[in-house]
Amino acid sequence: MELAVDEEFRRYEPAYETLISAYALLKDDIGLDVLRSMAERGDEAAATAVARYIAFPQSFEKETKREGSYRDALSILKTVPPNRVTWRSRLLIYQLVSKDTPRDFPARLDACDELAAMTDFPWPHQTKLEHGILMYQMGRHQDGKRTFAEIRDSLASRTGAVSVPGELRYLADPKSGFRAPLKTSIRVPTPAAQGGTSMAFPKVGDLSRYRSGRTSFNASGSSHATTWIVSSSSPNSARRQFR
Residue 137 burial (CB < 10 Å; 0-12/13-18/19+)? Answer: buried
Domain boundaries, the chain: 14-157
User: Are 232 and 238 contacting, i.e. CB atoms less than 8 angstroms apart?
Assistant: yes
Asked if 123 contacts 91 with a C-beta cutoff of 8 angstroms, the reply is no
Per-residue pLDDT of the chain (243 residues; tens, 9 = 90+): 334 444 433 445 665 665 666 566 544 566 788 888 888 999 898 899 899 989 998 877 777 778 889 999 999 999 999 999 999 999 999 999 999 999 999 999 999 999 999 998 999 989 999 999 999 999 999 999 999 999 988 877 777 778 999 999 988 988 888 998 887 766 665 655 455 555 544 444 444 444 433 333 333 333 333 333 333 334 344 444 444
- Which CATH number is 14-157 given? 1.25.40
Q: Which residues pair with 215 in a beta bridge?
A: 225
